[in-house]
Amino acid sequence: MRIIRRIKGKKTYFYLQQSFRKNGKVVTREKYLGRKMPRQIDTIKTVLMRESREEIFSKLARVRKNFQGEWRKYPETVKRQEKEEIAIVFTYNTNAIEGSTITLSETREIIHHNVAPNKPLKDIRETEAHNRVFLDMLDEKEDITNRVLRRWHRRIFQDTKTDSAGQFRNYSVSVGGYIAPDREKVNNLMNRLVVFIRNADASAVELAARAHYRFEKIHPFGDGNGRIGRLIMNHILWRRGYPMLIVQYKKRKSYYTALARDEEGFVSYFLRTYLKIHKTWS
């Protein structure tokens, strides 16, 4: 989406232009803004963006309906086995993205057979802890709050980051070229994020994308934000009846590239990726 300025004679006119895919074709839409830039430009952008995503939201609704229809058919024992396998695959990928040396097969051995590979103890401990937190997250009924997020962080890192596990940072950090908000703003920003998640008027998949993006930009913990952020998005999806999304280690470059964009850019990436992974349900 971009703003276009056209000059006709001595007059200037502003338009909002967006290209999107509809029925398999790329469609370009323009909205006339006037001779001056309107103050409510962000609201106009949001409305236009949602209109362009109607087809995507329709597919997402089918994903939920078809997934729930199939999930209800499973016996409880099978559901538990499915959750355990998802937990293993998710734990492997989310830890690998953050530098863990534990492979997928080693993750399975650690979880199923308590067999520790010849790898750093830190990676083994975080694998065990993350798997437990993920499975508990699927079954717990609590909404996302700062207390819940700090508890997840503490449980995952209590053996490996003993001086910071479960605590929001009280120092400044930067990630690559991105400078996170000042430490004095962290609590307020996190309170606002929790309220946003609770009250947002958005589809579950869009909400998962926006919550994950905003959490990563706040970067409330000194370390471990990626893993907590990916737990947040799957908590939102699962609690609202949608299949979860596993960001694959081998696709991490496109994921990081999307996170470096603005929020709308990340949401577009997230929606496309989600539908591609769950196309069998749509």
pTM of the shown model: 0.85
Q: What whole-number distance in Å separates Cα of residue 281 and Cα of residue 164?
A: 41
Residue-level pLDDT at 30? 72
Q: Where are the domains of the chain?
A: 2-52, 55-281
pLDDT along the chain (282 residues), means of 10: 78 73 66 73 68 80 96 97 97 98 97 94 97 96 96 98 96 90 97 96 93 98 97 97 97 96 93 94 83
Q: Which of 130, 153, 212, 219 is catalytic?
A: 219
Residue-level pLDDT at 54? 76
Topology of the domain covering 55-281: Fic-like fold (1.10.3290)
Residue-level pLDDT at 229? 98
Residue-level pLDDT at 211? 98
Q: Which residue has the tokens 């559901």?
A: 79
Q: What whole-number distance in Å separates Cα of residue 170 and Cα of residue 221?
A: 9
* List of residues 6+ apart from 131 with CB closer than 8 A: 87, 88, 91, 107, 111
Residue-level pLDDT at 19? 65
- 33, 15 contact by CB (below 8 A): yes
Residue-level pLDDT at 20? 58
The answer to whether residue 219 is catalytic is yes
Residue-level pLDDT at 14? 76
Residue-level pLDDT at 34? 72
Residue-level pLDDT at 23? 61
